[in-house]
Amino acid sequence: MCENGVWNGNPPKCDLITCPNLKQPLNSIMNGQCEPGICGSECNFSCKIGFTLSDSRNIRCLQSGKWSSAPPSCVQVKCPPLSKPNNGEMSGDCSSGSHGNICSFSCNTCYTLVGLQVLKCENGIWNGTPPKCFLISCSKLSPPLNSEMNGQCEPGICGRECQFSCNNGFRISGSASLQCLPSSQWSSSPPSCIPLTCPQITKPSNGEMNGVCASGIHGGTCSFSCHTCYNLVGRKRLMCENGVWNASPPKCSPISCPKLSPPINGEIKGQCDPGICGSECKFSCKNGFNLLGSASLQCLVSAQWTSSPPSCVPANCPSLKKPSNSEMNEVCSTGIHGGTCSFSCNSCYALVGHQNLKCENGLWNNSPPKCILISCPKLSPPSNGEMNGQCDPGICGSECNFSCNNGFKLSSSASLQCLTSTQWSSSPPSCIQVKCPPLRNPSNGEMNGACSSGIHSGTCSFSCKTCYNLVGQKVLKCENGVWNDSPPKCILITCSKLSPPSNGTMSGQCDPG
Quick one: pLDDT at residue 296? 94
Q: Given a cut of 90, is residue 140 above it in pLDDT?
A: yes
Query: pLDDT band at 216, cuts 50/70/90?
Result: confident
CA distance 274 to 63: 152
Looking at the chain, the whole-number percentage of residues with pLDDT higher than 90 is 41
CA distance 457 to 264: 91
Domains of the chain, each with CATH number or no CATH: 18-76 (2.10.70.10), 88-135 (2.10.70.10), 137-195 (2.10.70.10), 207-254 (2.10.70.10), 256-314 (2.10.70.10), 326-373 (2.10.70.10), 375-433 (2.10.70.10), 445-492 (2.10.70.10)
CA distance 71 to 168: 90
Quick one: pLDDT at residue 341? 87
Tens digit of each residue's pLDDT (9 = 90 or more) over 465-485? 999 999 999 988 888 878 888
* Closest C-alpha among 129, 130, 124, 128 to residue 80: 124
Query: pLDDT band at 365, cuts 50/70/90?
Result: confident
Q: Given a cut of 90, is residue 215 above it in pLDDT?
A: no
Q: Given a cut of 80, is residue 333 above it in pLDDT?
A: no
Q: Given a cut of 90, is residue 497 above it in pLDDT?
A: no
Mean pLDDT across the stretch 198-223? Answer: 86
**Integer angstrom CA distances of residue 88 from 134, 294, 333, 426:** 9, 102, 117, 142
Quick one: pLDDT at residue 134? 93
Tens digit of each residue's pLDDT (9 = 90 or more) over 368-399? 999 999 999 999 999 989 999 999 898 998 99
| First-to-final CA distance of the chain | 234
Quick one: pLDDT at residue 326? 87
Query: pLDDT band at 7, cuts 50/70/90?
Result: confident
Could you give the dihedral angle defined by the CA atoms of residues 268, 270, 276 and 280, in that order, rounded to the nearest 10 degrees?
-80
Tens digit of each residue's pLDDT (9 = 90 or more) over 270-281? 999 899 998 999
**CA 12 distance to own-chain centroid:** 138
β-strands 207-211, 221-226: how paired?
antiparallel
Write the DSSP assignment of 389-438 as a string of letters: ES-SSEETT-EEEEEE-TTEEESS-SEEEB-TTSSBSSPPP-EEE-BPPP
Does the predicted model carry a pTM greater than 0.85?
A: no
Burial (0-12, 13-18, 19+ Cβ within 10 Å), 261: exposed
Are 170 and 193 contacting, i.e. CB atoms less than 8 angstroms apart? yes
Are 378 and 392 contacting, i.e. CB atoms less than 8 angstroms apart? yes
Q: Given a cut of 80, is residue 338 above it in pLDDT?
A: no
Quick one: pLDDT at residue 207? 92
**Integer angstrom CA distances of residue 103 from 9, 63, 127, 165, 202:** 75, 51, 11, 48, 77
